[in-house]
A and B are shown apart, each in its own frame.
Chain A
C-alpha cells in the first residue's frame, strides 16, 4: 500500500519548518511506510480560511483529498496538524452536508474526496512503524527527559479527529519511550500556544508559550518534542523573546518527534535539520549514544 504525502506549506523546502518535512522523509526511508507526495497539492486554507469563510476553507481542503483519490491513495499523511485537522473536518463537513458537498464540487471541479483516510504523523508511526523502530534503533538517549507537547490540533475536536485522549494524550509519549528517551508527565500537553497569532498578536503568543515553557521546565524537561510546525515556531523561534520578556532562562530545545526518531535510528543531525533550530539542539543530539 502506498501512502500519499501532503506536506502542507509550512514544512516544504525553504519554509519556516522545513526540517520537519526533511526529517519525516528521512525517517520514512528507514522505517517506512513508503510515502509519495501528492502531485500539485495546494494549501488547505489553514486558520485564515476557516476563520473567515467556511465554504472556501472546505473547498481548499477537499481539493487535496480529491487529488489524493484521483491518484488512488487510500490514506494520506499530513504531518502538519493544522493541515490534518482541516482536511479531516472538511471531509466530515461534506460527508454530513449534501448542499455544501455540491457547492464544493462545483468550486473544485472534481468529485469530493470523501473516502481517503487522513492521518497525522503520530498515527502513521504508531500504526506502521513501531516494530521497525524497535528493530532498527541504533542509539538511545537514556535519561533525556522529553516533554511531549501535542498542542491543540492533533487532538481537538476529539469527536471528529478521534485521535488519542484530548486531555492526556499518550501516542507521542509511547514513541519517545520506544526510541529510548524518557517522556515526562506534565500538565501542558494540550495547552494552546497561540498558533496562528504569531504575526498578528505576538503578545498573546508570548504569554501562552511562556506558560508552556515554564510548565515543561518545572517538570524537569530537557527538551520539548512537538509534531506541529506552528507549535515549533512559537516555542523555538520566539523562545529568546519570551526569555527576555519574562526574565527567565529556558534554553529548552524544541525538537520534532521525527528528528528524535531520526537520531535514534543513527541519522545525522544536520541531515535531519537539527541545525535549523533557533534554540541550540546540541544537548539533545549529544544525549544520543
Chain B
C-alpha cells in the first residue's frame, strides 16, 4: 500500500511567504506529487495552532508520512516529530523541507523562490515516501564519571559530580592537583590570594568519599561510547608507595640534588630530585624526578635496575616507615581499567614559552619574564617570598614594563586569537607591583584593554587611576640590554610618539596556548579541536560544554582561553550535563546510525573487509567482527557499527566501495529518489 503523505507549507509570517508563493507550492504538491493526499499552508507551523493542525490532519486524513516545508530542520524538526508522535505516527515518518534559510532568505525573485520551493518539497516528498519507521536506540549507563585534569576546572567538575552522589575518577598528570591556579599569587578582580581560595577545594577533593584521585597518571586509551566508556589509566611509577608514605618530608630534606629548576616556580626557584611540587600539594606525598635523581642517572648509565644502584640511597635510608619502606625504586607503571558513563576533559592550557620573540630577546634576558613567572615572584609562597626582585641580581626594579598581547593577536607569530585574561592579570600585576614597590613606576603597553566581566572594567581602571600605572597604547618593537638596564622601544599611538623606557624588568603577558599534547588527547577521546588546537564545543552558543563526541564534555581552558570565574562556571555546567546523563539508567539516542548489511549464508555480508570506513570514522564507531563457522573458524571479517558511538555523519556510507553500509533514514534508495525527482530543464 502506498504512503499517504501530507504537505504543510509554512508562511513563517512573511519570512517565507514574501519570496515564496506558498499557496502555489501546496497546490502543486496536491496536484502533481505522487503519494501526496493532502496539502495546505499555515502562517506559523511551529505555533501551537500550527502543531494542532498537523495532528488533526494526520488523524483526519489518515496520513502515514508528513513533509513540513518550513525553516531549517535544526530549528523545528523535533517540534514537528513530537507533534506527530502524539497521533501515533512514527516520528521518523516526519520530514522537514527547508524553504527558508536556503530558499526564501537567499532569493529576491518570488518566481525563483517559488520554483525552488516546489523542487525542494517534491524531493522531500520522494524521500518521505521511502521513510521507514525507526526506533530510538537504548543504551545502558554506567553511573561513574571520569574527569581528566586536576586544575580548578577538573576540581570543580569532580566536586560537583561527586556532590551529586556519583562516583568520580579524577586523573592528573602532575604529582599534585591544583593546576595553574595554585601558582597564581592574587586573583582578579578581588585580589584574594589564589592558594587561599583553591587549597580548601583541593582538600575537599582528597577527602571526598565519591572521588578516586589518580595523580602522576595519564589516560592511556578510551573505548566505548556514551554511557559506557572503557578507560585505561596509566599510573606512572613515582617510586613512592602512596599507601605507605605519610608525607613526613624527611626524604626531600636529605636529597642531595637541590638545584633542580622547579617547574612549579616557573624555574625561578629550585627543588630536590625527590619532591612535592609545593607545600600544599595534594597528595602531600613526593615523587622522584628520575631524570635528575643521582640513583636513576647512575642506573641508566650502567644499564642496571635502579634498585641495584648504590650511588645515593639517602631518601630510602631516611624513610622512617617500617617494616617496608615507602620508597620503592623498583616500582613500575601500572595500568588501571575503569568503566565510566561520562567524561569531563579539563586538561587546561600552556603559557606561551619565553623563547618565541626574538625582538624581546628570546628568553636570553633574565629580567624579561613571563606573566606566570611574575605570579611566582609576587606569591608569598614563591622563590622571593612575594618580594618583587629581578631574577638577574635580586634588585628591586624601579621601573617595570608590562607588555600585553605577547603571542596573542599576533598572526605573524601564529596566534590570531585574544587570550582574554592578560588585560586583567596585567592590571593586577601593575597593582601588585605598586603595592610592593611604592616608589616604583609601572608602564603597561597595550593594544586594547579588554576587561569585559563583572567588576573588571573598574578593576583595570583602578590600576591606572589609583595605583598610578601608566598605560601606553602600542606594541613594543624591541627590548635590548644596555648596562644593567633593559631599553624598551615602544610607541604611544594616542600621541603618535615613540616611547623609549629604561626599564629594570619587563613582564610579558604571554598568550594562553593549547597544551602541547592537545592533539594526542583529542585523538584518544575522538573529539574535535580547532585551528589553535583548543577542543571544539558542539555549538558555540547553545552547546558550549559538549564535545563533538557524545558523553564527553569540556571544561576550562582546554576549550579556549578562560579566566577562573569562567572556568569554574563552565566546569559546573559540564558537571550538570554529566549528572543529567548519569541520572537515567538507560539512554535514548537518535536512530540515525549506520549499519553494515548482514545477509543469509553463504554471503553473510557484502562487506569485503577493506575497513576504509574504519579509517574515516571520526568517532571510532567501526569495529571488526569475525563471522565464524560452527566450529569457531573465521569465515570472514567484516565491519560492524557500534550504535552507541555512531553519530550518523554518513562518512562510512560514502566511503564504502561495496555499498554495504547504509545510514538509517538516509538510505541510497531515498537519496536517489530525491535526486531523481528534480526536474531538470
Are A and B close enough to touch in the complex, i.e. CB under 8 Å? Answer: no
